Structure 1
Amino acid sequence: MGRFWDKYTGTQYPDGRVASLPATHLRAALLALNGPDVPFVVRDARPDEKADLVAEWRIQEPAWQTFFARSQLDRQVRIRMRLVSEKREVRTLDEQWEVTWVGTTPKVATSGKYNRGPTTTVSKRWTNEQGPDGRRQRVQTFGFDSREMKDPLRNTVLGAGWTWRGAVFKL
């Protein structure tokens, strides 16, 4: 299955001309992605997470109101990463939780969902507003794309000369 399976899981290999860095340097480079302008956090994994590093992004989409109830989606996207020094690869596992809060009182959960495996999530919310020319136009009020987290992680790994082994189902 080779290349087909690699395409399905999102596995990517570094350019052959790039010298691979030691695991400690790669770990430091991934942790250095943290900052005030980055919408996610990279941290050391807890023992129960069975990984070396974890990148997390928690999103709370804007609530919308109907005549009967208020609804809001709470989503958490997490990428667990295990650094395998012998093979110079980073094995990753994508996880996503979604909880929809609906009710007249805050925090009444009505549905929850958990996904694991290769994921790319894009969520956008639009409203109709009056533009400067007086015409109604659609304006994006909320946007989320999981590639904004995954791409910097993958580029850092590939730039360090390591393989990004995507969507491993068991770390």
Structure 2
Amino acid sequence: MLKILVFFLWFLGFAIGLPGLVLALIKHGAQSDFAIDRDAGDVAGGQFKDPARLFGRDTAAPPVDARSMFPLAVAAAAAVYPDATRVLIARGPDKERSKLLMADFYSGLASGNTTQDHGGSRFTANTGEVGWIALQGEFGIAVLGPTREAMSARRAAIPGFHDNPKRTLGNKIDREYMPYALAVLLIWCLLVAAQFGRMAAWVGGENAPDNATPVAAEVLADKILALNQQDVPFTVSRGDAPNMLVVDWRYADAKWAELMRVRDMEKSHRLVLRLDEGGHTARSRDYESAMSWSAGADGANLDWKGNLGITFFKYEYEKAYGLFFENGTLKLTPSYEYRFDLDEMKAPIIALVIGNGWNWRPVVSFWRPLGG
């Protein structure tokens, strides 16, 4: 149980938690890419006090009142420039309502191709222009230009909005190097996936006692096959390779087949063992399967479909009752009782393996770099 706890702590805390924490710190540490001259955004009588400090002095005409476009705004103004670019700045009563008014403006203007850019969103306007929209506090700004270059140049030239001097490394990673950060994250995920199989094998594995002398692989295989002579709910058979054994739930046995028929069972379990004589290690892979089967004079036919990997534990228990006449009296008695404990299926095999000087390793894959 301690191994399982360590495994989940490693997986949730290190494999997933560490990259999540790093990305969260990058996002949290990133400041806005631009800063606003809040003094220039002061309002009096529904107008910006000093529009020249917000829009600059190179406008083609004085900025015009744009509150008709933003009913929720405390103040709003728009300006046109000689290079055919346009700037709109609006101030709402608070951040939440400013977000609403800029969202309404965006939905009525944007036609698609929206991407993150410089702390805001760049988009294609329904006029064919390239636009950029952003929100900082209760201030919203939109810049439109005939080309992306013209729009970006106008955005950089607005005196009321300028690059934020408090930008951090988080800004640089978030805005410029995020594709590289995601590539590193992908490599991390691949490394974790490879380590996951090894950690899982460590959790479910058991080592042979120090004083146990390893037997030959064929001797161990014969001992495991000899379990067929005991009253166990599984069968052991040879696999496709000389060092492979297959352990199946005993569906063909009359006792177990009848139980599955009564229960209409559609689940079963299979273990595939590979005996690695070089390292004296028996590697086990679980197949938890859905099955369709039919029984007849020639035996049972089984169609396997299912998942594979490692199952640490599985336990099922059910009891059904029926009404039966007994000595002329109707009684409620058990009609059948079913219990499946995966440990009872694995325990005899594990005991044979480690008792004969071999190590036991459950694996997600028989490929060593992934499964261990």
* Alignment partner, residue 143 of structure 1: 339
Establish whether residue 78 from structure 1 lines up as the match of residue 78 from structure 2.
Answer: no
TM-score of the two chains, using structure 2 as the length reference: 0.35
Instruction: Return the match for 2:318 from 101, 107, 125.
Output: 125
Structure 2 Cα separation of the partners of residues 115 and 122 of structure 1? 17
Give the letter for the 2:314 counterpart.
T
> Amino acid of the residue matched to residue 233 of structure 2?
P
Determine which structure has more spread, i.e. the larger CA radius of gyration: 2
What's the CA shift string for 1:96-117, capped at 9, x where partnerless? 112489xxxxxxxxxx962212
1:162 aligns with 2:353: no
**What's the Cα RMSD here?**
3.2
Alignment of 1:7-156 (within 5 A): 9-35=203-229, 37-46=231-240, 52-58=244-250, 61=260, 63=262, 72-99=264-291, 114-119=306-311, 120-128=313-321, 141-156=337-352
Give, in angstroms, the shift of residue 127 of structure 1: 3.1
Percent of pairs identical after alignment?
28
**What is the Cα deviation at residue 121 of structure 1?**
2.4
Aligned-partner Cα distance in 2 for 1:168–1:79: 12
> Secondary structure at 2:224's aligned position in 1?
helix
The Cα shift of 1:30 comes to: 0.8
State TM-score, norm by structure 1: 0.70
Task: Give CA-to-partner distance per residue, 1:78-123, whole Å, 9 cap, x none.
Answer: 110111111010111011112489xxxxxxxxxx962212213222
* CA–CA distance in structure 2, aligned partners of residues 140 and 41 of structure 1: 23
Amino acid at match of 1:43: S
SS of residue paired to 2:270: strand
Aligned partners of 2:265 and 2:245: how far apart in 1?
26
Q: Distance in 1 between matches of 2:214 and 2:230?
A: 28
Which letter maps to 1:28?
Answer: D
Residue of structure 1 in register with 2:150 after alignment: none
Distance 1:7 1:90 in 2: 11
Higher relative contact order (CA 8 A, sep 6+): 1
Tell me, what secondary structure is at the counterpart of 2:228? Answer: coil
1-structure distance, mates of 2:305, 2:217: 34
C-alpha deviation, 1:75, in angstroms: 2.2
More helix by share: 2
Compare the two structures and name the one with the higher strand fraction. Answer: 1
Question: Does the C-alpha gap of structure 1 residues 53 and 142 become closer, same or farther in structure 2, counting only changes over 3 Å?
Answer: same
Counterpart-to-counterpart distance in 2, 1:127 and 1:57: 22
SS of 1:32's partner is helix
Give the AA of the match of 1:116: L
Partner Cα distance (1:163, 1:40) in 2 = 22
Structure 2: distance between partners of 1:118 and 1:45: 19
Q: 1:139 to 1:153 in 2, by over 3 A?
A: same
**Unaligned 5+ runs, structure 2:** 1-5, 8-198, 252-256, 294-303, 324-331, 368-372
SS of alignment partner, residue 265 of structure 2: strand
Tell me the matched-pair count.
147
